[in-house]
């Protein structure tokens, strides 16, 4: 049985990683928000039955159809990379590898670390909506609940805190955090979740209440440097400016707070640990050798 290896495509499709990186870069020129979406996509793929591109499959009852995945994006970038690869090396490069490499390239494009990733993943052939909810983190989870899900994937408490650093980029819809504050009947601001900075919460309330529909308004995850992959996320947490309840929760628990403090003060350490944790996530439950298949289109099984 073949296993994952670095430069898996060196002989069969030498330009594969270059093609994927170029596709990510050119897509981000016209739509910078696609980079955060590509990074989020790998979480939602790898945490649900492994990094097998099952999140990409279209159709009723698939992972992609689950409400928990409704706000995912970046699909067109994956498909356009696949289309180019199918011209140069038909039937060779898996969608599962494209997904992981595109997320890796998105981080690099925003100034983050360059992570060497082994390739050779095969594409899964099953995608079931019921598998989504029990496996992904919801924004109201406790630290215990998050640690449980991470450890079920072979990831540690450190991996949890480090991979949460993905929230240094990207944006979120108001309905994922607006239960943390409200307007009282007289229209005055009221803070519900006291782990959130008061003036930051007021800013969020104003941004969110200026629109009719909280599911369409988006707010940057990192209010300071939203278009740079850096350790600002952790510095935000120290001053109670974590956007989600799950972000603020990392400061409430000794096990996670200690790691937040280290990462807030040492970006180099964050980058090193990110490379390790991202790599660990990218190999969760992979199919290799003759398992699975290499899809012709990322949106459908062969």
Kindly list the catalytic residues. 44
For the chain, the farthest-separated pair of C-alpha atoms sits apart, in whole angstroms, at: 68
Give every CB contact of residue 207 below 8 A, 6+ residues apart in sequence. 174, 217, 219
- Residue 139 assigned to a binding site: no
- Residue 127 assigned to a binding site: no
Distance (Å, whole) CA 271 – CA 256: 17
Distance (Å, whole) CA 54 – CA 122: 11
- Residue 17 assigned to a binding site: no
- Residue 253 assigned to a binding site: no
Residue carrying the six token digits 């309330």: 205
- Residue 168 assigned to a binding site: yes
- Residue 215 assigned to a binding site: no
- Residue 225 assigned to a binding site: yes
Distance (Å, whole) CA 12 – CA 7: 10
- Residue 203 assigned to a binding site: no
Give every CB contact of residue 152 below 8 A, 6+ residues apart in sequence. none
297: DSSP letter: B
- Residue 167 assigned to a binding site: yes
Q: Are 140 and 203 in contact (CB under 8 A)?
A: no
- Residue 187 assigned to a binding site: no
In the structure encoding, which two tokens stand for residue 199, read together?
A: 């003036």
Provide the β-strand partners of residue 181. Answer: 191
CA 124, 129, 130, 131 torsion-angle sign: positive
What is the SS3 assignment for 231?
A: coil
Give every CB contact of residue 206 below 8 A, 6+ residues apart in sequence. none
- Residue 52 assigned to a binding site: yes
Q: Are 95 and 28 in contact (CB under 8 A)?
A: no
For residue 181, report the phi and psi dihedrals to the nearest 5 degrees. Answer: -160, 165
Give every CB contact of residue 278 below 8 A, 6+ residues apart in sequence. 103, 104, 107, 115, 163
Question: Residues annotated in the binding site for Ca(2+), as ranges?
Answer: 45, 48, 50, 52, 54, 63, 168, 222, 225, 230
Annotated binding site: 45, 48, 50, 52, 54, 63, 167-168, 222, 225, 230
Q: Which residues are annotated as a binding site for heme b?
A: 167
């Amino acid at each position: 049985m073949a296993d994952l290896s670095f430069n898996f495509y060196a002989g069969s499709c030498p330009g594969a990683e270059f093609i994927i990186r170029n596709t990510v870069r050119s897509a981000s020129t016209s739509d910078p928000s696609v980079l955060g979406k590509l990074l989020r996509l790998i979480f939602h793929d790898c945490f649900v039955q492994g990094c097998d591109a099952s999140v990409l499959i279209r159709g009723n009852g698939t992972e992609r159809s689950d409400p928990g995945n409704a706000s995912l994006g970046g699909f067109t970038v994956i498909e356009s990379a696949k289309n180019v690869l199918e011209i140069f090396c038909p039937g060779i490069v898996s969608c599962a590898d494209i997904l992981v490499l595109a997320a890796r390239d998105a981080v690099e494009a925003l100034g983050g670390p360059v992570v060497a990733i082994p390739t050779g993943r095969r594409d899964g052939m099953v995608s079931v909506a019921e598998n989504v909810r029990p496996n992904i983190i919801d924004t109201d989870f406790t630290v215990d609940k998050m640690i449980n899900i991470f450890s079920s994937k072979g990831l540690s408490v450190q991996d949890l805190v480090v991979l949460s650093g993905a929230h240094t980029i990207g944006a979120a819809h108001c309905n994922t955090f607006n239960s943390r504050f409200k307007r009282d009947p007289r229209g005055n601001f009221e803070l519900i979740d006291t782990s959130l900075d008061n003036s930051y919460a007021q800013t969020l309330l104003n941004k969110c209440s200026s629109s009719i529909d909280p599911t369409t308004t988006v707010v940057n995850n990192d209010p300071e440097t939203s278009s740079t992959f850096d350790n600002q996320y952790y510095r935000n947490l120290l001053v109670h400016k974590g956007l989600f309840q799950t972000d603020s929760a990392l400061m409430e628990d000794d096990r996670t707070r200690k790691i937040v403090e280290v990462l807030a003060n040492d970006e180099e350490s964050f980058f090193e640990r990110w490379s390790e944790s991202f790599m660990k996530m990218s190999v969760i439950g992979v199919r290799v050798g003759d398992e699975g298949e290499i899809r012709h289109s990322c949106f459908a099984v062969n």
